[in-house]
Amino acid sequence: MAQYERQLEELRKEKQDYVQKIDLLQHSIRVLEEKKSEFCYSTGGHTWVHDREYGLYGETFTYCEMCKKEG
């Protein structure tokens, strides 16, 4: 029984390590996306594109043509 508990604890710890790595990666991605957007804005401004999804009830959305930031 102790062997199962030890294996479960190891797997839970490994899972927590992966969750922390994913959180760190998500944070890094957000920071880089913000820097990319700031660079786009500082080098002439965003070029906004207004688009609509296909279909009868397609949503409209706006994004920068250069950096893909949603508006």
pLDDT score of 68 = 87
How far is Cα 11 from Cα 9, in angstroms, rounded to an integer?
Answer: 5
Mean pLDDT for 4-18 is 97
Which of residues 56 and 9 earns the better pLDDT score? Answer: 9
pLDDT by residue (tens digit) across 12-69? Answer: 999 999 999 999 999 999 999 999 999 998 888 899 999 999 988 989 999 998 898 9
Q: Which 3-state string (H, E, C) describes 5-54?
A: HHHHHHHHHHHHHHHHHHHHHHHHHHHHHHHHHHHHHHCCCCCEEEEECC
- Tell me if 59 sits within 8 A of 51, measured CB to CB: no
Is the pTM of the predicted complex or chain greater than 0.75? Answer: no
